[in-house]
């Protein structure tokens, strides 16, 4: 049986021999507080709907976005859309649709 | 297919805003690399990114992996010190190689506003960043259309960019 932890990527940010990044710079650039100090090894996940890579905040208490249809974690933005519409459209489906579109266009060009 | 690695030995990335032409990488400045499939139906997966600081003073460097709202066009070449090679010595040459160089002759790549995929900010004075995707969770790039057909690893505005080396491992299909 597949575990959701098997979907976790790995992020190492090592400032153990560096002044690092202060929080007033790190937070506005989208990184969690404290990440710019010392050595941080963090799990990440790739949103299956948009492929945005998120750092999993170990201190998060809110429920993490999860799509039961594709059995993947999703980012907060995609989770909002999923809750509103009930739609699950993974990035793999977007790529497949694009592929079909390109193949159709190429076959039309060959016909004419 | 076969895994490949694009590597830059030393570069001070040029900080650039979104939807602005990324500066061609000459004289060890510009951006690290793009990944653009070699054909309209090629698919590429990004497996790993590493950045190591080489600066001699504190330089918070805001590196971003992002989908591009304008893809690079024209002849694609490399700066001195950028290489793209196969990880396995026995890999056959690709019929349609993935474009990974950091100089484009015609249109320059532009990052999309809402399309940053991964924030790899670090201090290039001794900092190290490494991201590895879980198997099956890699970032996918497909074809050559805007927002789906190219990603770039470049510096965002703010901070002070510093000298760094980097590599990116990808696998074309």
A46/B133 CB distance under 8 A = yes
CA dist B159 and B52 (Å) reads 17
* pTM across the whole model: 0.94
Which of A19, A22, A25 is the closest to B125 by Cβ?
A19
Contact B42, B173 (CB under 8 A): yes
Report A:62-101 residues touching B (Cβ under 8 A).
Answer: 91-92, 94-95, 98-99
How high is the pLDDT of residue A54? 92
* Alpha-carbon radius of gyration of chain A: 19
Predicted local confidence at residue A30, as pLDDT:
75
Q: A38 with A20: CB under 8 angstroms?
A: yes
Q: Contact at 8 Å (CB) between B81 and B9? A: yes
The complex's ipTM works out to: 0.93
pLDDT tens digits for chain A (112 residues)? 778 889 999 999 999 999 999 888 888 877 888 888 999 999 999 999 999 999 988 888 999 999 999 999 999 999 999 999 999 999 999 999 999 998 898 888 877 7
Cα–Cα distance measured from residue B162 to residue A18, given in angstroms and rounded to the nearest whole number: 13
Residues B18/B141, Cβ–Cβ less than 8 Å: no
């Amino acid at each position: 049986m597949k575990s959701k932890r098997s979907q976790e990527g790995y992020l190492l940010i090592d400032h153990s021999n560096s002044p690092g990044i202060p929080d007033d710079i790190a937070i506005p650039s989208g990184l969690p507080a404290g990440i710019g100090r010392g050595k941080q090894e963090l799990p990440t996940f790739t949103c299956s709907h948009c492929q945005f890579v998120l750092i999993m905040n170990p201190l998060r208490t809110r429920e993490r976005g999860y799509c039961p249809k594709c059995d993947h974690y999703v980012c907060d933005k995609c989770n909002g859309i999923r809750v509103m519409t009930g739609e699950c459209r993974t990035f793999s489906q977007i790529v497949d649709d694009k592929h079909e579109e390109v193949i159709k266009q190429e076959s039309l060009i060959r016909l004419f | 297919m076969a895994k490949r690695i694009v590597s830059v030995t030393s570069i001070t990335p040029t900080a650039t805003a979104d939807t602005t032409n990324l500066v061609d990488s000459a004289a060890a400045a510009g951006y690290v690399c793009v990944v653009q499939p070699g054909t309209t139906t090629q698919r590429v997966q990004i497996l790993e990114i590493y950045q190591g600081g080489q600066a001699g003073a504190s330089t918070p460097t805001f590196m971003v992996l992002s989908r591009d709202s304008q893809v690079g066009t024209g002849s694609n070449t490399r700066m001195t010190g950028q290489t793209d090679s196969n990880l396995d010595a026995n890999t056959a040459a690709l019929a349609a190689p993935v474009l990974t160089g950091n100089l484009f002759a015609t249109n320059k790549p532009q990052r999309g506003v809402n399309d940053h995929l991964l924030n790899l900010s670090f201090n290039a004075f001794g900092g190290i960043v490494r991201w590895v995707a879980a198997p099956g969770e890699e970032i996918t790039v497909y074809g050559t259309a805007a927002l789906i057909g190219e990603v770039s690893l470049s510096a965002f505005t703010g901070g002070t960019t510093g000298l760094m080396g980097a590599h990116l491992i990808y696998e074309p299909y």
